[in-house]
Amino acid sequence: MLAAIAGVGATSFWMEAGREATAAPLWPLAIDEVTSVATVFALTPLLLSWAFRLDPRRIGWGLVFLGHAAGAIAFSLLHIAGMLLARFALYPLFGGAYRLGGEPFLTRLLYEGRKDSLTYIGLIVGAWLLRTVFDKKSLPIPAPPPRLEIRDGAKRYWLATNDILWAEAAGNYVELHLADRSLLRRQTLTALESELADRNFVRIHRSRLVNAKHVTATETNDSGDFTVTLTDGRQITGGRRWRSGLDAVAKS
C-alpha cells in the first residue's frame, strides 16, 4: 500500500509539472515520496504498539483520546524528522541538494501535520479492523456434544458419548452399541463420524466406528485385517486400510 502511494504520488506531481510546462525531473519527486512512506513504514510498529496500549476498558475513553492526540503529534514530528534527514542524505547522491526553501518551519509543520493526522487515524483504524477479523477467525471450534439425542418413538434418550463402545451402519440408521444394550439413531455413519471426530471415535471399517477409549487390544491376521478387543470383552473386526487411523488415535 505504501509503495503504491509513493509511486502514484511521485508520478502525479511529475505529470502536473509537465502539464504546467515546468519540466521538473522525476527523481526529486520520487525521493520525496519514497522517504515519506519509508519513514511511515518504519514508524508503524512503534505506532501500533502505543495504540494497542490505549485500552478504554482499562484507562477510560478520556485517557484514550488524550493518548491518541499525543501519539499523533509524536508520530508527525518523527515522520517529518525522519524524511527530512533521509532527503538531506539522498539528494547529493543524484547531484542535487535538498532545501527547505523560504517556507516558515511552523507552516511546514502544520502542512505535514494535517496529512500525518489522517495517516495516523488510517493506520489505527486499519489495524483495529484487521485484528478484529483475525480474532474472529481464531475463535476456538465448539467442542462436540458430550451427549447424543436418541429418539425411540415418543421417548428420547440422551446418551453420553463415552458410554458408546462402537457404532455400525444399519441402512438409514447407525446402531450404537453400549455395554448392556444397543440403540438405533437415524443418521448416516459418515455424519456420526464427523460429529464425534474429536471424541476419540475412529473408523476401523467402511461400516464401523469404534471408541478408541474402549479399545484394550488389537490383533492383526494373515490378510492384514485386524480384530479389536473392547473393554467389555467383545471383539469386532477392522479393515487394514483403516488400521493407521486407529493407531494414531490410540497413541494420542
Same domain (yes/no): 119, 10? yes
pLDDT, greater one: 15 or 236 = 236
- Smallest CA-to-CA distance from 71 within 97, 44, 33 is with 44
pLDDT at res. 60? 86
Same domain (yes/no): 172, 117? no
In this prediction, residue 242 has a pLDDT band, given cuts at 50, 70 and 90, of confident
d(CA 85, CA 82): 5
d(CA 10, CA 24): 11
Cα distances (angstroms) measured from residue 131 to each of 26, 117, 122, 134, 247: 38, 21, 14, 5, 39
Same domain (yes/no): 104, 151? no
Q: Which residues contact 179 (CB under 8 A, 6 or more apart)?
A: 163, 165, 231, 232
Angle at the Cα of 171 (from 169 to 174), degrees rounded to 5? 40
User: What is the residue whose three cell numbers read 532527503?
Assistant: 87
pLDDT over 90, % of the chain? 34
pLDDT at res. 108? 78
Same domain (yes/no): 202, 108? no
Same domain (yes/no): 91, 71? yes
Same domain (yes/no): 122, 180? no
142 belongs to a structural domain: no
| Final residue of a structural domain among 137, 155, 176 | 137
141 DSSP 8-state letter:
P
Residues 49-72, mean pLDDT to the nearest whole number: 88
Q: Say whether pLDDT at 144 is over 60.
A: no
Cα distances (angstroms) measured from residue 98 to each of 19, 41, 77, 84, 147: 24, 22, 19, 9, 74
| Final residue of a structural domain among 104, 137, 170 | 137
Question: What pLDDT, in 10s, does the model give residues 92-102?
Answer: 998 888 887 77
pLDDT at res. 137? 65
Three-state DSSP class for residue 137 = helix
CB distance 236 to 210 below 8 Å: yes
Strand partners, 156: 151
* Structural domains of the chain, count: 2
Same domain (yes/no): 117, 14? yes
Weakest mean pLDDT among 11-15, 109-113, 171-175:
11-15
pLDDT at res. 168? 95
| Final residue of a structural domain among 117, 137, 157 | 137
Q: Say whether pLDDT at 245 is over 60.
A: yes
Same domain (yes/no): 27, 120? yes
Q: Say whether pLDDT at 163 is over 70.
A: yes
Residues 200-221, mean pLDDT to the nearest whole number: 91
CB distance 191 to 205 below 8 Å: no
Task: Tell me the pTM.
Answer: 0.50
For residue 164, give the CATH number of its domain. Answer: 2.40.50.1020
pLDDT at res. 251? 64
Which H helix or E strand runs over 234?
Answer: none
Residues 198-210, mean pLDDT to the nearest whole number: 90
CB distance 99 to 32 below 8 Å: no
pLDDT at res. 130? 85
Look over the chain and give the mean of its residue pLDDT values, rounded to a whole number: 85
Weakest mean pLDDT among 89-103, 134-148, 233-247:
134-148
* Domain range for 34: 2-137
